[in-house]
Amino acid sequence: MANISAGLHHLQKAAKSAVSPDSKTVDLENDTVEPGKNQSMTTDYGIKIQDTDHWLRAVDDNHNGPSLLEDQIGREKIMRFDHERIPERVVHARGTGAFGTFRLFESAQDVTTAGVLTDTSRTTPVFVRFSTVQGSKGSADTVRDVRGFAVKMYTAEGNWDIVGNNIPVFFIQDAIKFPDIIHSVKPEPHNEIPQGQSAHNNFWDFVYQHTETTHMQQWVMSDRSIPRSYRMMQGFGVNTYSMVNAQGKRHFVKFHFLPELGVHSLVWDEALKINGQDPDFHRKDLMDAIDAGHYPKWKFGIQLIPEEKEHDFEFDILDSTKLWPEELVPIRYIGEMELNRNVDEFFPQTEQVAFCTSHIVPGIEFSDDPLLQGRNFSYFDTQISRLGPNWEELPINRPVCPYMNITNRDGAMRHRITKGKVNYWPNRFEINPPASAAQGGFSSYPEKQSGIKARTHSAKFKEHYNQAQLFYNSLSDIEKLHVAKSFSFELDHCDEELVYKRATERLSYVDLQLAQLVAKNVGAEIPTRALKENRGLKSKGLSQLEYLPDTANITTRRVAILVADGFDQTSYAGMKSALKEQGAFVFTIGPRRQAIKAATGEEVVPDHHFPGMRSTLFDATFVPGGKHIEALSKNGNAKYWITESFAHLKPIAGVNEAVGFIESQTKLPGVRFATTASNNTTVESYGIVTAHGTPTDVFRKLGAVGKDSKGFQEQFIWQISRHRNWQRELDGLVDQVAA
């Protein structure tokens, strides 16, 4: 009682002193606190918290089980986080979206009753929103970050949301830690720095404190986190769901989207420059492709594990920091998603679209994945905070099938008008009754539950390094080099010695050589032994280079043609025609955005001029022959264009007089890009394609395009389809700093 009285006296005293007698303003010092090591964490209502890392669950002997709604500590933590920012999304604020369709080409009725996955005659409308995670709405598109890949399917049974990422795993295992990981990666609270990147002390301190993040660190420091385009990245559902068939048999499932165009990335120096040169690069790229009729497509696949085999793996299949290796659980591709219509107005569609992991349809159900369980609560609560209680009535969010619930009434921004006398069930009129399972009513799988209440996970959740090694081992040499440079860049920005030393040490659990290289670069102590033996295991589908198509597909690739007065019209027109025939976007770049004259008098008006455009915004460059080479050789922007393109590993092509110009800007000591003067001879060296000969010989009718193509145009097209010439970097011809 004495303690309560003392506390009340303190509050009364603070209230009196909170207003300065002369200024009548609030004295902020009375509301300023400084947390310390000896000050225990409490809830906002004062009780001390024993465990802030695990949601309260009902667990069986394997420590698996559902999360409990009664966890007042977990609910407070998540709900306070959900409502931190209004109205911008706390995460995934920077994004863009498009409409499209989903079609099924193989029924999955053997594992589910969901009509969208069993009825091959359907065409299901979809809306997809791509996004970065950490930056604000005003941040740039090409920062190093996880990308959101959220799909809303407007099915005949109701909306189904797959709220995924372009990476199949996540940083944390339990949803109660989500506020912590996002707080750590967001700008630091004392100075609101940095925006849209993870290269700072708090993030790397957090991931060191949580060994479960080790696997995800490898993915985020790989090329996956700087995609070339939203159209060229995979989508993963991340969480484990369930499917139930007509016989009541249950399978665990993960969802996959594989892009038709392959999986491609930027290089780091290029990504940094695009951030400033065109911060809307990704959203423009998506909209331009759809406007041009080049609709991006993804194959839709499912991984399935029968319920009885849940515990047959060395990892816990409900752990969101683990993937299911394809050798153990093959992906079954059963459908295709196409995006074919841009939004009409950005705000009411892209900004107001709202996704929920809890939006499922009959035949698809949840699992005891502890990250999913918390997301199911958090996402719905967050949408109420951002858009109000009637957010599901907004046109972009409401289902296309009939919907009615007489008990859902009122609330801010309610616009649906429901007639009648009653707003409850049961009622005397028997209005709006629930539907039976036979009528399509959602019926949950009768999973048996028993256990004790505890804040814990299964023993398999405690293993945090095997799959980090699996991912790193599966990468190509160039991808491994990029991982090392990414860690080096990030940790070089950490100015607290304890932070970058610890983070570097953690890499010794993944790969000793990786740890040694990064330690040398960032000034940490160089480790001499691995802290965990690398078993050398690899898995299919983890390296992006596995997704290079066998054929030369350059649809929507952006190719620049550099010209000045005196260019050769025949070679210019021949290459432009060949590229456009293959579906590429071709842009003419010149010294001015007014007519440029060819040597034979023809005129072209460039799409851009050199000071207004950069090589970073294109996938490849062609320089036609002609007397204009003399002018280009004196133009610093044109010269740097070639040098920068070479440094970014992009294909470059030139004919006749242009060959010497290209060589002069790309040649390094000890490297010779050989060319031959005989007619129609093509030489490809490190992705540089050159030819000498009469234009009519060099630019003959386009032939078959492939790896062994002999023709000049065909070889250039093939090199563009390879995305980059990684050998330049591997052989040390360029140093991508942190690419």
pLDDT digits (tens, 9 = 90+) for 156-205: 998 999 999 999 999 999 999 999 999 999 999 999 999 889 999 999 99
Count of beta carbons in the 10 Å neighbourhood of residue 277: 16
**pLDDT at res. 673:** 61
Count of beta carbons in the 10 Å neighbourhood of residue 733: 18
Domain hosting 660: range is 549-722
Least confident of 295-309, 350-364, 456-470: 350-364
Q: What does each C-alpha distance from 158 to 35, 129, 216, 557 come to in angstroms?
A: 47, 19, 33, 37
Residue 10 has pLDDT above 50, yes or no: no
**pLDDT at res. 25:** 43
**pLDDT at res. 85:** 62
Q: Which two tokens stand for residue 450?
A: 């028993």
Least confident of 73-82, 215-224, 337-346, 606-615: 73-82
- Which band of pLDDT confidence, cut at 50, 70 and 90, is reported for residue 264? very high
Residue 641 has pLDDT above 60, yes or no: yes
Q: Which two tokens stand for residue 93?
A: 């604020």
**pLDDT at res. 44:** 67
Instruction: Report d(CA 729, CA 267) in Å as an integer.
Output: 11
What's the rounded mean pLDDT across residues 285-306?
A: 98
**pLDDT at res. 41:** 73
The residue annotated as part of the active site, out of 165, 239, 466, 553, is 165
Query: pLDDT higher for 614 or 692?
Result: 614
Q: Is residue 197 part of a domain?
A: yes
Read off the pTM. 0.89
Q: Which two tokens stand for residue 446?
A: 């009768």
Q: Which of 368, 393, 418 is the last residue of a domain?
A: 393
Instruction: Give yes or no: 165 in active site.
Output: yes
- How far the first Cα of the chain sits from its last, in Å, is 64
Query: pLDDT higher for 304 or 429?
Result: 304
Instruction: Report d(CA 224, CA 233) in Å as an integer.
Output: 8
**pLDDT at res. 6:** 47
**pLDDT at res. 426:** 86
CATH code, domain carrying 627: 3.40.50.880
What's the rounded mean pLDDT across residues 443-464?
A: 91
Q: Is residue 11 part of a domain?
A: no
Spatial CA neighbour of 505 closest among 523, 519, 520: 519
Q: Which of 393, 419, 442 is the last residue of a domain?
A: 393
What's the rounded mean pLDDT across residues 238-249?
A: 96
3-state secondary structure of 428: coil
pLDDT averaged over every residue in the chain: 90
User: Cβ contacts of residue 693 below 8 Å, gap of 6+?
Assistant: 655, 656, 678, 679, 680, 681
CB-based contact 76:44 (threshold 8 Å): yes
Burial class (CB in 10 A: 0-12, 13-18, 19+), 290: buried
Q: Which of 369, 393, 417 is the last residue of a domain?
A: 393
Residue 20 has pLDDT above 60, yes or no: no
Instruction: Report d(CA 470, CA 334) in Å as an integer.
Output: 27
What's the rounded mean pLDDT across residues 53-62?
A: 87
**pLDDT at res. 116:** 96
Q: What percent of the chain has pLDDT over 90?
A: 68
Residue 29 has pLDDT above 90, yes or no: no
What's the rounded mean pLDDT across residues 470-485?
A: 98
* 675-693 pLDDT tens trace: 554 555 677 789 999 998 8
Cis upstream peptide for 426 (omega within 30°): yes
**pLDDT at res. 7:** 46
**pLDDT at res. 505:** 95
User: Cβ contacts of residue 12 below 8 Å, gap of 6+?
Assistant: none
Domain total of the chain? 2
Residue 220 has pLDDT above 70, yes or no: yes
The residue annotated as part of the active site, out of 54, 63, 92, 251, is 92
Q: Is residue 462 part of a domain?
A: no
Residue 233 has pLDDT above 70, yes or no: yes
**pLDDT at res. 89:** 77
Phi, psi for residue 563 in degrees, rounded to 5: -140, 160
Q: Is residue 211 part of a domain?
A: yes
**DSSP letter, residue 351:** I
**pLDDT at res. 22:** 44
3-state secondary structure of 159: strand
**pLDDT at res. 669:** 55
Instruction: Report d(CA 66, CA 449) in Å as an integer.
Output: 8
**DSSP letter, residue 655:** E
What's the rounded mean pLDDT across residues 533-557?
A: 95
- Which band of pLDDT confidence, cut at 50, 70 and 90, is reported for residue 358? very high
Q: Is residue 653 part of a domain?
A: yes
Residue 47 has pLDDT above 70, yes or no: no
Residue 412 has pLDDT above 60, yes or no: yes
Residue 62 has pLDDT above 90, yes or no: no
- Which band of pLDDT confidence, cut at 50, 70 and 90, is reported for residue 739? very low
- Which band of pLDDT confidence, cut at 50, 70 and 90, is reported for residue 57? confident
**pLDDT at res. 706:** 82
Q: Is residue 377 part of a domain?
A: yes
Radius of gyration of the chain (CA): 29
User: Cβ contacts of residue 146 below 8 Å, gap of 6+?
Assistant: 132, 133, 165, 166, 167, 220, 225
**pLDDT at res. 680:** 55
Query: pLDDT higher for 322 or 419?
Result: 322
CB-based contact 416:395 (threshold 8 Å): no
CB-based contact 337:297 (threshold 8 Å): yes
Which residue is it, tokens 């999973």? 447
Least confident of 179-193, 230-244, 301-315, 586-600: 179-193
Burial class (CB in 10 A: 0-12, 13-18, 19+), 46: exposed
CB-based contact 479:511 (threshold 8 Å): no
Element (H, E) at 306: strand 297-306
**pLDDT at res. 677:** 46
Least confident of 82-91, 434-443, 508-517: 82-91
Q: Which two tokens stand for residue 467?
A: 């799959």
**pLDDT at res. 643:** 95
Instruction: Report d(CA 619, CA 232) in Å as an integer.
Output: 13
Least confident of 20-34, 311-325, 442-456, 649-663: 20-34
> How far is C-alpha 418 from the chain's CA centre?
41
**DSSP letter, residue 175:** G
Q: What percent of the chain has pLDDT over 70?
A: 92
CB-based contact 194:102 (threshold 8 Å): no
CATH code, domain carrying 223: 2.40.180.10
Q: Is residue 493 part of a domain?
A: no
**pLDDT at res. 30:** 60
Phi, psi for residue 377 in degrees, rounded to 5: -75, -45
**pLDDT at res. 15:** 42
Q: Are strands 57-59 and 452-454 parallel, antiparallel or unpaired?
A: antiparallel
Instruction: Give yes or no: 92 in active site.
Output: yes
**pLDDT at res. 31:** 59
- Which band of pLDDT confidence, cut at 50, 70 and 90, is reported for residue 449? confident
What's the rounded mean pLDDT across residues 105-122?
A: 97
Residue 117 has pLDDT above 90, yes or no: yes
Q: Is residue 268 part of a domain?
A: yes
CB-based contact 545:476 (threshold 8 Å): yes
